[in-house]
Amino acid sequence: MLFYTLFLLVTTFSVFSLDENPAKGLLSMLNIILLIVPLVSIMFSTIYLYNSAEFIELLVSQPLKRKTIWLSLFIGLSASFSFSLLIGIGLPIIIFQPNAIGAMLIGIGIILSNVFIAIAMLSSVKTRDKAKGIGFAILVWLYFTILFDGLVLFFLFQFADYPLDKIMIIISSFNPIDLSRILILLQLDVSAMMGYTGAIFKDFFGTSSGMIISFSILMFWVFFPVFFSIRNFNKKDL
């Protein structure tokens, strides 16, 4: 965990100090937050949960509710990840980019970490086999970062003759990474997003109600996996 914090801190600092153009630094930050943060979150959480399987068994034998144990595991992971992110990315951003984009990056980073911790918890409770669980975690990450966008692009080319703007907004909410990317994009590429269909997205995501809706969808992405994992954990034969 300390290593992760340090890694984030070093990369963020170097990204911002390497280039005199802060906009380029922000772009690299965007990639770190959209690719590395979810990967580390989901992998670390999965491995952690499998490694502490015996400890969890021990806890279950104590007079504690299973729900409390599972939730405290989630809160522990979430707190440590959010904290590393705050230090690792928050600190350099406060120094180099103390503005709305910076705040957005930190906020989105924290939410994305939590989303992927929640997914990791669900996947690790579903499968008993460690190798299978980790494989599944990698697959989930791969799906959300690359495969999903590829499918969307394919869908877009196939149905280019139809008005897709509203459908695209709905589709994007099926992928927390896409949703986060669009939210940051609206801050970063505001000039381009004001043009053409960009304006439609801006009308939705840029307004405060759209912002609230998209943030609540992201929250759902945290809440639902955690909720289902608790249900599964309650019934699970350890």
Partner 1 sequence: MKMICYILTLLICVDSFGANVLCVGKSKQFISITAAICSAKDGDTVIVYPGHYYEKNLIVNKKIYLKGIGYPVLDGQKKYEVVSVKANAVVVDGFKIIHSGVSSIEDLGGIKIYDSRDVVIKNNILEDTFFGIYTQYGKNCTIQNNELHANNLEEQQSGNGIHCWKSDSMKIIGNTITGHRDGIYFEFVTNSIIWRNTSFKNIRYGLHFMFSNNDAYIANLFTANGAGVAVMFSHGVKMYSNTFQENWGDASYGLLLKEISDSYIEGNVFNKNTSGIYMEGASRLLVKKNSFENNGWGMKIQASCMEIEVGNNNFIGNTFDVSTNGSLVLNTFNNNYWDKYDGYDLNKDRVGDIPYHPVSMYSMIVEKYPTAMILFRSFITALLDKTEKLIPSITPEGLKDNKPQMKRKF
Residue 160 sits in the site that holds partner 1 (CB under 8 A): yes
CA distance 144 to 13: 27
Contact present, 200 and 89 (Cβ < 8 Å): no
Residue 3 sits in the site that holds partner 1 (CB under 8 A): no
Q: How many residues bind partner 1 (CB under 8 A)?
A: 37
Residue 178 sits in the site that holds partner 1 (CB under 8 A): yes
CA distance 187 to 147: 25
Nearest distance, CB of residue 74 and partner 1, angstroms: 27
Residue located via tokens 């499918």 = 151
Nearest distance, CB of residue 177 and partner 1, angstroms: 8
CA distance 31 to 138: 18
Q: What is the CA radius of gyration of the chain?
A: 19
Please give the helix or strand (H or E) that residue 169 lies within, else none. helix 165-172
Amino acid at 91: L
Among residues 111 and 181, whose Cβ is nearest to partner 1?
A: 181
Backbone angles phi, psi at 38, to 5 degrees: -60, -40
Q: What residues from 25 to 44 belong to the interface with partner 1 (CB under 8 A)?
A: 27, 30, 34-35
Of 50-58, 91-99, 191-199, 210-218: span binding partner 1 (CB under 8 A): 191-199
| Residue selected from 71, 164, 211, 213 as contacting partner 1 according to rule CB under 8 A | 164
Q: Kindly provide the b/e burial profile for residues 34-58, where b requires at least 16 CB atoms within 10 angstroms of the residue's own CB.
A: beebbbbbbbbbbbbbbeeeeebee
| Residue selected from 9, 168, 211, 217 as contacting partner 1 according to rule CB under 8 A | 168
Among residues 129 and 165, whose Cβ is nearest to partner 1?
A: 165
| CA angle centred on 120, ends 115 and 125, rounded to 5° | 130
Residue 116 sits in the site that holds partner 1 (CB under 8 A): no
| Residue selected from 18, 194, 212, 219 as contacting partner 1 according to rule CB under 8 A | 194
Chain residues in the site for partner 1 (CB under 8 A): 21, 23-24, 27, 30, 34-35, 145-146, 149-150, 152-153, 156-157, 160, 164-165, 168-169, 172, 178, 181-182, 185, 188-189, 191-199, 201
